[in-house]
Amino acid sequence: MCWKGDSGPTNPSGFLPSKKEFYRLARELNDFGLEYHIAGVYDKALLGYQEAVRIRMIALKFESYKLADIADLSDASVKERCKTVRVQREELALNTADQQTQIPPLDLYHRSKSRSTCDHCSVKIEKPIRSATWMDEEESKYIDPAITLYNIGLVYQKSDRPTKATQLFSMALRVLPQASHPPLGALILYSSAQALYQAGDLKHAAHDLSQLIYTYSATVASGTSYPGDIVGLNLASAIALLGRIHFESKDFDRAAELCQEVLHLRCSVLGRRHIDTAAASYNLALVWAETGRIECIQESISLAKISLHIFISHKQASQSSAVQTSNIIQVLLTLGGLYFRDESFANATHCLNKALQLARKVASEHPSDPAKLVDVADLLFMLAQISHRQGHSFAALELYHESLQVERVFGEEHKEMALVLFSLGQIYHEVGDLGRAFEYQEHVLQLSRRHLGEQGEFLARVLTIIGNIQNER
């Protein structure tokens, strides 16, 4: 038995809360979860968000006069719960106010052949959103559910569960009334594209990004916004992620076009000295470098040098800089590789030695993390290649052996080990030590057969070299 009074439906045991009180409690729960989210306590954040969803479901039943599941709720109990949550949220916000905000990674593309952990940073995950308190209850009851679902999706995205995150983002988009709040819809679509990218679904990620870029571009072109505001930066972020997808799909020409757009937008919005502009410069340099075109090398070197200078200056100027030592190693390594291809061996050696010094320092600071040695091994190998190319055989041998020693930390069964052994075999062959040359190439042959089978260009080359060594012995 129920009837509708001034406070909404009631039951015989007393007045139920108004729908306004339900929505107010759901807002407080969302923002309570958000404080835990910001503090990095994701399990408790999830509990707050999930309770907000449950309360909104109760409110929907309430509006439909389905009182069976809520007969034990009174107006006083809901108001008391709302008050308690608000106090807890405010206390949590005070306790975490002094915590250092986690700095998101720079938006740097990674080299196609890289195995460095610093080269594979996760994409920058967006921040959670507070409830739409600037709206009245009637309007916000359609916006707030989308916000909470979006925040839950961000928790899953941060917890390396991108597939689950995409499901929540899709739910948030379905809940959000069409065209009711374009900025929120665009933000959800961008995070959905990020999660799809993280899950390896590049096709659907590119589709979402193309749709988003069209929306942002239309907004800018309409005159309601301009590239100097937040829309311009959001457009740049969407284009940058689409460029990353084309880059990783080996579509370097399209990736270069997109990277140029990003660089232009960020220069217009942020200026040339901003670290995000420097990141865009580096990405364009890397894309041009990966095309393999000789005519692109000098321009790539110029862009990479600009990025390096800005990164170093920014890191030296601030302890809380977004620039990490690993980012500087990454740029130095790329720049050294570009100089090597340009046969500017002195500049290449200078860059790689600086990177090696930094990489060794990072590895010494993390002795229990073998992954920090990856850059050390790769840099030693590249320095050995430079010495080898210049005909400094014994200097190259020393560097290859040092690289081999580091590679053994990661085990014997990986392709980089085979490349180092192959290079050692080549040099021993060149200096006339046929016994060692044969020994190393035999080892390479065994590794190659285990990992490549009996096919492949590299395996055929190794067999030819072994045959030549046997003929010379």
Q: Is pLDDT above 60 for 9? A: no
Pairing of strands 14-15, 8-11: antiparallel
What does DSSP assign to residue 373? G
Region 80-85: what's the mean pLDDT? Answer: 67
Q: Higher pLDDT residue, 90 or 236?
A: 236
Please tell me the distance from the alpha carbon of residue 148 to that of residue 145, in angstroms, as a whole number: 5
Q: Which residues contact 265 (CB under 8 A, 6 or more apart)?
A: 227, 232, 233, 235, 236, 239
CA torsion 141→144→146→150, rounded to 10°? -170
**Which pLDDT does position 82 carry in this prediction?**
61
What pLDDT is attached to residue 120? 43
Average pLDDT rounded to a whole number, residues 16-22 = 69
Q: Is 200 left (phi over 0), alpha (psi -120 to 50) or beta?
A: left
Distances (CA, A) of 271 to 104, 164, 228, 264, 312: 20, 37, 10, 10, 17
pLDDT at 383 over 90: yes
* pLDDT at residue 397 tops 90: yes
Residue 83 has pLDDT above 60, yes or no: yes
pLDDT at 355: 96
Running DSSP on this structure, what letter comes out for residue 74?
-
> Phi then psi for 9, rounded to 5 degrees?
-60, 150
Q: What is the pLDDT of residue 176?
A: 87
Tell me what the mean pLDDT of segment 361-385 comes to: 92
Instruction: Give tens-digit pLDDT for 233-279.
Output: 899 999 999 999 999 999 999 999 999 999 999 999 999 999 999 99
- Three-state SS for 14? strand
- Classify strands 14-15 and 3-5 as parallel, antiparallel or unpaired: unpaired
185 neighbors 173 (Cβ within 8 angstroms): yes
Query: In the predicted model, is pLDDT for residue 5 greater than 50?
Result: no
